[in-house]
Amino acid sequence: MAFTSDLTIDEVLLIEEVGFEPVDLVLGSSYFHIGWQYSSWSANEELTQISAMMLDARHTAMARMMEQTIAAKADGVLGLRLEIEREGHNAEFTAIGTAVRRRKGDGVQWRRPRGEPFSCDLSGADFWALVRGGFRPMGLSCGVCVYHVAHQGLAGWFKTVGNNVEMPTFTQALYEARELAMGRMQAEAWALGGTAGLVGVTVEEGSHGWDSHVIEYSALGTAIVPIGDPAHEVHESPTVVLVAQDWEPPPAGAPAVAAKPAAT
């Protein structure tokens, strides 16, 4: 059967090596109006409605992509990317990835506990390495926190001008905001059934056309679980290799290590 995918040739070979085949390029998007919430000028506080909206927009895009995945009778999604394109106060959230299917037909074991397909932002090479290492992905988890950082009063400004001092209120505000985003991502990973942990976490800060005191922290990572089937615990100790080509930095997003399929 013909398939469409944005996987490279070696990625296709690697996922076939662990018993999967690409099915289709799947996509979901949502278009949101980014609203506004009043916040006190001199308070450090989370803008809970905006946080919820920014998370909802991502979830909606991912859920629509998942519907396509289910319709394609696939067992999971690889290389999931979340993109945000903003025009004024409106933003389009897009989720795109390659749906894959287990060739042997035992894909149900690879799905989430409630039967939904798995999802991850891993490349084909990373997916191969993860499965060979005895783990499988459950889902891309995200956590969001939109935070308003207090303005400093004039008296505060007078105290600090010219001195080397830490600004504890600011430190605490951003520290808390980051921790909240990471904590929520963790809770989501747990809820998805990724009970071993999260790999490849990124924490990004963004400002989507808001006042400069409003910052969004978004944490994203792939939740994983052990496979449990000893057939996948092929722990080959890595060998150190010297690449014969002259070294040049790999392009962004390319697999950093030339993965060697297990000897048959």
Partner 1 sequence: MANNPNQQMQRPPMERQVLPQHAQERIQRMRGAQGQRFFTSDLSVKEFLLVRESGFECAGLVMGSSIYHVGYQRGNYYENMEMTVLTQALYQARELAMARMEEEASELGADGVIGVRLKVNRHTWGDDLLEFVAIGTAVYARDGGAALAAAQAPQPGRSPWRAPNGTPFTSDLSGQDFWMLLKSGYRPVSLVMGNCVYHVAHQTLGGWFKTVGNNVEMTNFTQGLYDARELAMERMQAEAQMDGAGGVVGTQITETSHGWDAHVIEFFAVGTSVLPIAIAAQPPIPQLVMTVNE
Out of 31, 201, 206, 208, name the contact with partner 1 by CB under 8 A.
201
Out of 28, 107, 117, 221, name the contact with partner 1 by CB under 8 A.
221
> CA–CA separation, 134 vs 123, rounded Å?
17
Residue 75 Cβ vs partner 1, minimum distance, rounded to whole Å: 19
> CA–CA separation, 57 vs 80, rounded Å?
16
Question: Residue 108, interface with partner 1 (CB under 8 A)?
Answer: no
Out of 242, 248, 252, 264, name the contact with partner 1 by CB under 8 A.
242
Q: Which residues from 114-173 bind partner 1, rule CB under 8 A? A: 122, 126-127, 129-130, 133, 149, 151-152, 160-167, 170-172
Q: Taking the C-alpha atoms of 122, 188, 70 and 6 in order, what is their torsion angle to the nearest 10 degrees?
A: -20
Residue 111 Cβ vs partner 1, minimum distance, rounded to whole Å: 20
Tell me the sheet residues that pair with 140: 222
Do 77 and 65 contact (CB within 8 A), yes or no? yes
> CA–CA separation, 182 vs 141, rounded Å?
10
> CA–CA separation, 143 vs 209, rounded Å?
20
Residue of 199, 192, 255, 204 lying closest to 66 (CA atoms) = 192
Nearer Cβ to partner 1, position 212 or 264? 212
Write out the residues near partner 1 by the rule CB under 8 A.
10, 122, 126-127, 129-130, 133, 149, 151-152, 160-167, 170-172, 174-176, 178-180, 182-183, 185-187, 189-190, 195-203, 205, 212-213, 215, 221, 235, 237-245, 255-258
